[in-house]
Structures are given as structure tokens and as C-alpha cells.
Amino acid sequence: MSYAPSAERYSKMIYNRCGRSGLKMPAISLGLWHNFGADTAHATKRAICQTAFDHGITHFDLANNYGPPPGSAEAAFGEILRTDLAGYRDELIISSKAGYLMWDGPYGEWGSRKYLIASCEQSLKRMGLDYVDIFYSHRFDPDTPLEETMGALDHIVRSGKALYAGISSYNSQRTKQAAAILKDLGTPCVIHQPSYNMLNRWVERDGLKDTLKDLGIGSIAFTPLAQGMLTNKYLGGVPAGSRATQGKSLKADFLSDKAIENIAKLNEIANNRGQSLAQMAIAWVLRDGGITTALIGASRPEQVTDCAGAIGNLDFSPEELAEIDIYADGENINLWAQSSETKDGAAQR
């Protein structure tokens, strides 16, 4: 069926400036890490993207390896671009990344110039695009000179394959170094993509959030819902088909009895604010203006609609924030912790 986007879409969303750049991002963005591989019906993927755009979500975030199999999310999104969004390319911010394992041999992961440039080309082909809006180094590579990785991003931007450069899961210290190199090259670091939610606050402890503010770099917080934990979906048990049943990235031990008790308390706080827990979790990420956009995932279009409603109440009283702090406890859920520290044991995204 042919798709015509909602004429109201731009009145439904807030657009925030990305650091000190000219780029504006929707307060809520959609990521295609899960639910866009070969294990999901194409009609569902289309409906999720259409619903997002109808709500003014202009940013779609991908990576070379999203699937399964790796590459299939980009291929599916390319198809949706052709069938549904062909006339709207200039209204969209599309990103991709390279850093995690994508193909066999010594050139298929990490941060070499060889890998990043080849991977960007492959992503463009899969999506049928001439350029992506943002291209990221998906993770810091301790074995490749940072100058080489940043030089590859600079090359990708200068050759017109991406409009802006970004980095993901780099800690504060490496972000400062990367930003300085990119600045010298004349291609600013426009955006950083870290994990961040009420249960995973490493960007505060590490100082990254302050660093990004100081450097004028925008930020897109991924897993604002802690992969679905910060919603009401697990309060009555683990529903069939949910991410926790899939044996992928949402580990069963994240959902301990204590965690569920705390989530129930957070759900009460959200309801007292007139929000779903998902909406409050997104609002919390955006609460102080330090984050440009919250990067959600969704398995159904209804989830996108619910999440988009978060912008209806982005303000928190000091009492609400203090009460959230009592129950928001889940420091062991950051799968990307080692990506910002060491090479060994880095998470698989």
C-alpha cells in the first residue's frame, strides 16, 4: 500500500540543535538495531518507520551489522526508503556506523581506515543512498592510532559519503582526543552516541556528558528504555516475543525480582506524572538539555506512538528526580562498558 506521511508531523515533535552545529535533531530518534532483521516481517518494519515519520521522527539510526544477518537492517531500510520515503530524503537524517565485526578477515572490524571506508561504501549500497547524514566510528579501537580512525571519518565526509562525523561509546578522555584531531582536520565531531538511561549513568560518572557540553558536541542517547526494562512490559512477567525471550542482548538476569520491584516503583512515579514508564524514561534522558535526542527501538508501531508522547511532559520536580534515584538502580546492565574502557570483552554491538 502506498504511504503518505501525516501532514501534521512537524507540529508533533521538538527539534534540538545538535551541539554547536547547524543540524537539528528530533528529540526522539528511531534505531534499527533490533526488529529490522530477517526475523521480522517486512510489513512490521514499514509500519514502524511510517509511524515514526508521522510523529516527526526524522532520524533513523543504523549500523553495518544490524540484523540478523548483519547488513539486513540496512537492506530493509533501503527498501522502505524506495517504497515509502523516496520523496522525503531531504527531510531525513540517516546514520550508519562501523566498528564491530562485519566480515571475515583482518579488515572487517575495529577502526582502520581500510575497514571504515569500505564499510561505509557497503552501507550506502545496501541502503541505495549516495550519502548518509552521519557516519560514526562505532567503538574506540585501542590498536589503531586515533589519527587513522578520525582521518577515515574526515575522508568519508570530504568525499561526500557522509555529511557529518560522529563517534560512539568513546569515553570522555578519548572523546576529547578524537574531537581535537577532527577539529585539526577541519571536520568537526558533531555528535556522540553513548548508552544512557536511568539505570545506566556511566556518561555522568565518566564526565562525558560535561565534556560534550564543553566541546559543543551533540549527543544521541541509545537504549533510553534499557532495552525495554524501563517500560511496563515486564511487570507481569516476561511476555512472549519480547526481547528478553530472544536470548540476544537483554539478559535474563537483568530482570531479577529486585529489578522488577524497582521498575514497578518507577512505573508508579510515571503514572503519577500522567505518563507511561517508557515516556518518563525518555523524558528523564532529555530532562536537563544535556542530551540532544533519545534513540529508541521498537518492535511495534504502537510503541513508537507511546514513546513519541514523551515530549508532552519533559519537566521533573526535584522531588520526582530524587524519588527516581531511589529506585533506578541497575549499574550491571551496561553492555557497552568495556567498549569505553578496553578491547577485551567488548560488547557485540
Following DSSP, what letter does each residue of 134-186 receive, concatenated? Answer: EEEE-S--TTS-HHHHHHHHHHHHHTTSEEEEEEES--HHHHHHHHHHHHHHT
Query: Is 295 a residue that touches ligand NAP (CB under 6 A)?
Result: yes
Query: Is 225 a residue that touches ligand NAP (CB under 6 A)?
Result: yes
The nearer residue to ligand NAP, 57 or 307, going by C-beta atoms, is: 307
User: Binding ligand NAP by CB under 6 A: which of 223, 262, 334, 340?
Assistant: 223
Contacts with ligand NAP, 53-72, as mask; x by CB under 6 A: --------x-----------
Q: Tell me the site size for ligand NAP, rule CB under 6 A.
A: 32
Question: What distance in Å separates the CA atoms of residue 167 and residue 286, rounded to the nearest whole number?
Answer: 20
User: Binding ligand NAP by CB under 6 A: which of 26, 31, 56, 67?
Assistant: 31
Question: What distance in Å separates the CA atoms of residue 164 and residue 168, rounded to the nearest whole number?
Answer: 13
Candidates 105-113, 143-151, 218-226, 285-293; binding stretch for ligand NAP (CB under 6 A): 218-226
**Which amino acid is present at 85?**
L
Query: Is 284 a residue that touches ligand NAP (CB under 6 A)?
Result: no
Cell of residue 53, nine digits: 515519520
Grid-cell match 530524587, residue found: 322
Query: Is 262 a residue that touches ligand NAP (CB under 6 A)?
Result: no
Query: Is 110 a residue that touches ligand NAP (CB under 6 A)?
Result: no
Burial of 306: CB neighbours in 10 Å, binned 0-12, 13-18, 19+: buried
User: Binding ligand NAP by CB under 6 A: which of 222, 284, 316, 327?
Assistant: 222
190, 129, 189, 187: which is closest to 161 by C-alpha?
Answer: 129
Grid-cell match 557497552, residue found: 336
What's the sign of the alpha-carbon dihedral 315, 256, 169, 128? Answer: negative
The backbone torsions φ and ψ at residue 301, rounded to the nearest 5 degrees and listed phi first, read -60, -30
Let me know: does 140 contact 173? Beta carbons within 8 Å. Answer: no
Query: Is 211 a residue that touches ligand NAP (CB under 6 A)?
Result: no
Contacts with ligand NAP, 158-197, as mask; x by CB under 6 A: ----------xx-----------------------x----
The nearer residue to ligand NAP, 23 or 280, going by C-beta atoms, is: 280
| Shortest reach from residue 68's CB to ligand NAP, in Å | 14
User: Binding ligand NAP by CB under 6 A: which of 134, 291, 307, 310?
Assistant: 307
Query: Is 134 a residue that touches ligand NAP (CB under 6 A)?
Result: no
| Shortest reach from residue 58's CB to ligand NAP, in Å | 15
The nearer residue to ligand NAP, 117 or 307, going by C-beta atoms, is: 307
Let me know: does 18 contact 24? Beta carbons within 8 Å. Answer: yes
Q: In sequence order, which residues have a C-beta less than 8 Å from that of residue 293 and are 6 or more positions away? A: 16, 18, 25, 26, 27, 28, 29, 59, 218, 219, 220, 221, 286
Question: What distance in Å separates the CA atoms of residue 231 and residue 343, rounded to the nearest whole number?
Answer: 32
Burial of 297: CB neighbours in 10 Å, binned 0-12, 13-18, 19+: buried
Candidates 29-37, 78-86, 120-128, 198-206; binding stretch for ligand NAP (CB under 6 A): 29-37
Candidates 6-14, 46-54, 150-158, 217-225; binding stretch for ligand NAP (CB under 6 A): 217-225
| Shortest reach from residue 338's CB to ligand NAP, in Å | 12
Query: Is 283 a residue that touches ligand NAP (CB under 6 A)?
Result: no
Considering only residues 69 to 108 of the shown chain, the ones binding ligand NAP according to CB under 6 A are none
Binding site for ligand NAP (CB under 6 A): 31-35, 61, 138, 168-169, 193, 222-228, 231, 233, 242-243, 278, 295-299, 303, 306-307, 336, 349
